[in-house]
């Protein structure tokens, strides 16, 4: 039996809009399929039940969905919040920890019988095991600065096409990539800064004859329009857009009108 993501897919299609925003208010009262999915994640993973994952695409799809579903679950658990950074650590010394520590480092989720955190899932599992920087356009930490959450689950059978779609969507948005020739500046999402080694390392391993830089990666995977925009900007400086940590919540009236 192959692991399936139907429950998560159903939840996303009901509660995520075209902008990748989640209707957390309605989801709080309509989450039976999400809860079933979380229970399935808690019981089985590629590590605990490898026979249910026929290839690496199925494995990676599991971990991406597990991250996104867990982030949504944590937001619902901590509601009401306006940002994941509002989830504060507990204890007398909690004020010494950085904002976001409560959400990413201290709130725990169970996957395949193993307790972990969102930080551990992203950095110890996904980034460490997979040579695939496109994950950074698929993982969603419930913040407005994240890649837009798709209204469907990732699946092993179609993972490459889905990752390509999300990469194209991410790079096409001016909030993530913007070329200002007049100011001689290339603006990139902070995601490129935080995970620079993933993008540049991938270029070194897979395209050794190309420029192993963030701009080189964007040019390689961004397609002709973006490549053309970068032409003539070889000497432009690279700067990073300040990350938007506001919750990726959909206005309730917007979701109601979409139905």
Of residues 153, 27, 49, the one with CA closest to residue 111? 49
What was the pLDDT predicted at 259?
A: 37
**Joined tokens for residue 75:** 């937001």
What was the pLDDT predicted at 251?
A: 81
Give the whole-angstrom CA distance, residue 242 versus residue 197. Answer: 19
> Residue ranges of the domains in the chain?
6-169+245-258, 178-241
Give the whole-angstrom CA distance, residue 10 versus residue 132. Answer: 26
* In contact, 94 and 83? CB cutoff 8 Å: no
The residue written with tokens 């993982």 in the block is 139
pTM of the predicted structure, to 2 decimals: 0.93
What was the pLDDT predicted at 95?
A: 55
The three-state secondary structure class of 235 is coil
Paired residues of 177 in beta bridges: 188
* In contact, 134 and 163? CB cutoff 8 Å: yes
Q: What is the pLDDT along the chain (259 residues), one digit of tens a residue?
A: 899 999 999 999 999 999 999 999 999 999 999 999 999 999 999 999 999 999 999 999 999 999 999 999 999 999 999 999 999 776 555 555 566 678 999 899 999 999 999 999 999 999 999 999 999 999 999 999 999 999 999 999 999 999 999 999 999 999 999 999 999 999 999 999 999 999 999 999 999 999 899 999 999 999 888 988 898 888 899 999 999 999 999 986 443 433 3
The residue written with tokens 């949504």 in the block is 72
Distances (CA, A) of 22 to 128, 151, 177, 192: 28, 9, 23, 24
The three-state secondary structure class of 88 is coil
Give the whole-angstrom CA distance, residue 45 versus residue 50. Answer: 7
């Amino acid at each position: 039996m192959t692991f399936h993501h139907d429950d998560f897919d159903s939840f996303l299609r009901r509660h995520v809009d075209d902008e990748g925003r989640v209707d957390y208010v309605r989801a709080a009262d309509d989450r039976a399929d999400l809860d079933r999915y979380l229970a399935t994640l808690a019981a089985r993973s590629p590590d605990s039940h490898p026979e249910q994952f026929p290839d690496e695409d199925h494995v990676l799809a599991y971990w991406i969905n597990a991250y996104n579903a867990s982030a949504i679950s944590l937001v619902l658990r901590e509601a009401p919040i306006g940002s994941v950074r509002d989830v504060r650590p507990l204890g007398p010394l909690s004020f010494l920890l950085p904002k976001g520590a409560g959400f990413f480092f201290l709130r725990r989720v169970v996957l395949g019988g193993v307790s972990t955190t969102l930080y551990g899932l992203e950095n110890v599992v996904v980034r460490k095991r997979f040579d695939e920087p496109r994950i950074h356009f698929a993982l969603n930490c419930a913040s407005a600065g994240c890649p837009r959450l798709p209204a469907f689950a990732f699946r092993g059978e179609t993972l490459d096409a889905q990752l390509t779609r999300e990469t194209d969507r991410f790079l096409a948005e001016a909030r993530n990539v913007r070329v200002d020739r007049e100011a001689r500046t290339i603006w990139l999402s902070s995601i490129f800064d935080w995970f620079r080694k993933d993008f540049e390392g991938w270029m070194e391993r897979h395209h050794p004859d190309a420029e192993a830089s963030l701009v080189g990666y964007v040019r390689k995977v961004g397609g002709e329009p973006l490549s053309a925009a970068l032409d003539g900007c070889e000497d432009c400086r690279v700067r990073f857009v300040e990350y938007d940590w506001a919750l990726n919540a959909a206005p309730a009236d917007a979701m109601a009108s979409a139905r």
